[in-house]
Amino acid sequence: MRQFTKCCILLLILFMANSVSIRAKTSKEGGITSDVIQKARQSFKLDTSTRALMNALTNNDIKKLALNRQMYVAHDNLFNHKIKTKGITNQKSSGRCWLFAGLNIMRPKIIEKYQLKEFEFSQSYLFFWDKFEKANTFLELIIETKDRDPLDRELQMILESPFPDGGLWIYVVELIEKYGVVPKSAMPESEQTSSTGMMGRLISRNLRQDAAILREMSQDGATVDQLRERKVEMLKDIYRMLALNFGVPPQEFRWRYESIDTVVSEIKTYTPQSFFKEVVDVDLRDYVPIYNHTLHPYGKLYQMRLARNIYDRPDNVFINLDTEQMREFALKQLLDNQPVYFACDVGKEQNSEFGIMAPDIYDYETFYGMDFSMSKADKFRYRESRSTHAMVFMGVDTLNARPTKWLVENSWGDKRGDKGYWTMYDEWFDEYVYKVIINKKHLPKRVLDILKTEPIVLPPWDPM
């Protein structure tokens, strides 16, 4: 026993000595020394021009100072092809861009079909069911991973964001196929649909509590059937919270409209499913997600693990193509008078006051004397850029059959941009557009054939 104790003490001493050695080595190498500080100080020369720059930057907004006036003066918001629509939607303080964009590509058809002054779908209606489905998906994934270590990477990702606002095109498709759609008048916005932060945090807390309960039940020997019985009780609480915050989604409603000629239609009763079938009548499965994922080979089919809002539906699938092909198909669809759903990194090199997206709209290089350029692949690889926002292409300006700029319908209301619209220059498309949704009729056979192949599964932590 004494020998064993001595061995344990010796091992502890060796471990502590090794730890001290590692700390000592770390503290001596790689830190900012006085020599490094001295070199940095000497490199900064406060001459007349540098002092003027420092005075300007310390007392003014950087973006206003760096705005490229030549670019702004040369800019115009004219397009030689535009799709007619009316009104601008506003997602306000919520992460529903994907849902607004998905519904907005269908608005022009309804407005034209019924000669309406304006029309808007209820985003709140589908958002209710999206949230309910996401809660179920989270709880099912907790059951699915019940035997994993709490620090398992995939489980940690699930727990990190149990109830997100964000989504993808396929989320819109799955929701509409299951729940239909309703006009905004049948389920208008509430304070909580327009500002989702607090509600989201409360329901996320509740779901994490539920996760702890389900895992503890599993450890105590509960079967999957028993866990799912408890899950149903948990979902009742989620439904109640959603109904209190959003209102109750209609099972049927009455709708009538007034045309631009002031002709009022007869009032008719619909279910959400019959409204989509009779009034909208679009086959959403005809649309194919085309991505530009620079870190993986092109011409392949990919599937993003855990990228779904409805648990018992497949994960998101996309075809990976280069930017030139994305541009070609998006242009073809626009010229056929069909809006294009797309997703991009909206926070990069765009001006919300004037509604301009252009790589040279801000001249930061001149101010700082630094080159900030990176390839699209490196921006994505090193997390400088990623897909953050979905919008709709509603027009294009071409020269010699090639796009020079794109008309973008946003969902930030009409007080931002050019009355709710942005002009995206084609160079910006190259750098920051990552996804377009294209109707099959605008895709060649070689691309459609990719859909018949077995998808390559990407992990949930893939940057796309």
Q: Which two tokens stand for residue 92?
A: 């306000």
Is 389 part of the annotated catalytic residue set? yes
Catalytic residue among 104, 344, 389, 442: 389
Residue type, 258: E
Asked if residue 69 lies in contact with residue 383, where contact means CB atoms within 8 angstroms, the answer is no
Asked if residue 139 lies in contact with residue 214, where contact means CB atoms within 8 angstroms, the answer is yes
Catalytic residue among 97, 316, 351, 442: 97
Cα separations (Å) of 100 from 157, 342, 401?
Answer: 26, 12, 30
Asked if residue 113 lies in contact with residue 260, where contact means CB atoms within 8 angstroms, the answer is no
Query: Does the CA dihedral 176-177-178-179 come out positive or negative?
Result: positive
Is 410 part of the annotated catalytic residue set? yes
Is 8 part of the annotated catalytic residue set? no
Catalytic residue among 90, 104, 320, 410: 410
- Rounded to whole angstroms, the Cα distance separating 234 from 138 reads 12
Q: Which two tokens stand for residue 59?
A: 């007392």
Q: Which residues are catalytic?
A: 97, 389, 410
